[in-house]
Amino acid sequence: GQQVMQIPQYQHVQEGEDFTTYCNSSTTLSNIQWYKQRPGGHPVFLIQLVKSGEVKKQKRLTFQFGEAKKNSSLHITATQTTDVGTYFCADTGAGSYQLTFGKGTKLSVIP
Amino acid sequence: GAVVSQHPSRVICKSGTSVKIECRSLDFQATTMFWYRQFPKQSLMLMATSNEGSKATYEQGVEKDKFLINHASLTLSTLTVTSAHPEDSSFYICSALQGDRNQPQHFGDGTRLSIL
């Protein structure tokens, strides 16, 4: 089945530093969704990318979808302690309702 | 909007017990709901897809007789872990799809199941 690779697995940053997590696949991704899961919580939808080369911004968060639709990234500028959590990318797959999740990147922010 | 309620949030029970977990979409109708399992520090693994009024579709390696799913209405899906054993201890999360596949999934708060 389809696999979505996500790196890094963990990232520790000083508050104010930037953070980036990357997802990639050997096959073409359909719709990339990004979720954030706080410790002890459930995944919360952040954004969806559909088009090749698409870039979307939410305040300090920038989401990109690669031109070949085989990779995606989430970049956080000037991290804050409220950004702590695990960020997952997920792909819907062609014609599917199901999400295939990456392994997630756990972000720790040192105040 | 798009709130999904999952109950109970935590269960601790003896080996051999059957445990039922409910997933409700509170303010929308969900034709499709999903059940995931998440081990500590790991990603979400899809267990099954639940469609209202029809049998659930299970992922490879998931025992359908072990994990019974019932999607009786457009707002309720249940997962019953039958004759639970310690290896079934995990975090179970449901999600509900509002609309078509291009819409985000809305997740419940999860159920932490501990089998003694």
- Segment 71-100 of chain A within 8 Å of chain B by CB: 88, 92, 95-100
**What pLDDT, on the 0 to 100 scale, is given for residue A1?**
60
Q: Which residues in chain B have Cβ-Cβ distances shorter than 8 Å to A50?
A: 102
For residue B89, which phi and psi values (nearest 5 degrees)? -60, 130
**Which residues of B are less than 8 Å from A92 in CB distance?**
101-102
Kindly tell me the burial class for residue B5, based on how many C-beta atoms sit within 10 Å of its own C-beta (0-12, 13-18, 19 or more). Answer: middle
pLDDT value at position A85?
Answer: 96
**How does pLDDT run across A2-41, given as a tens digit for each residue?**
689 999 999 999 999 999 999 999 999 989 999 999 988 8
Inspect the interface and report whether the beta carbons of A43 and B49 lie closer than 8 Å.
Answer: no
Region A43-62 average pLDDT: 95
Asked if A65 and A56 touch (Cβ cutoff 8 Å), the reply is no
- Asked whether the beta carbons of residue B43 and residue A98 sit closer than 8 angstroms, the reply is no
Q: What is the mean pLDDT of residues A35-61?
A: 94
Q: Shortest CA distance to A57 belongs to which of A32, A75, A42, A43?
A: A75
Rounded distance between C-alpha atoms, residue A4 and residue A14, angstroms: 28
Nearest-CA distance B101 → chain A (Å) = 5
**Rounded distance, CA A86 to CA B87, Å?**
24
Kind plus residue range of the DSSP H or E element containing B81: strand B76-81
Token pair for B106: 């809305």
pLDDT of residue A109: 97
The whole-angstrom distance between B8's CA and the closest CA on chain A is 14
Measured between beta carbons, which residues in chain A are less than 8 angstroms from residue B93? 42-43
Is residue A78 classed exposed, middle or buried when 0-12, 13-18 and 19+ CB atoms within 10 A define those classes?
exposed
Q: What is the mean pLDDT of the segment spanning A50-77?
A: 97
> Could you give the CA distance from residue B111 to residue B92 in angstroms, rounded to a whole number?
5
Give the pLDDT confidence score for residue A93 in this predicted structure.
Answer: 76
Residue A72 has pLDDT above 80, yes or no: yes
> What pLDDT tens digit does each residue of chain B (116 aa) get?
689 999 999 999 999 999 999 999 998 888 899 999 998 888 899 999 988 888 899 999 999 999 999 988 889 999 999 999 999 999 999 999 887 767 888 999 999 999 99
Contacts of B7 (CB under 8 A, 6+ apart): B21, B22, B24, B111
Q: For A76-111, how does the pLDDT look when each residue is reduced to its tens digit (9 = 90+)?
A: 999 999 999 999 999 987 767 788 999 999 999 999
Give the one of B34, B93, B101 whose C-beta lies nearest to A42's C-beta.
B93
Q: Do A41 and B102 touch (CB under 8 A)?
A: no
Residue A81 has phi, psi (to 5 degrees) of: -65, -25
Distances (CA, A) of B8 to B21, B65, B104: 6, 21, 24
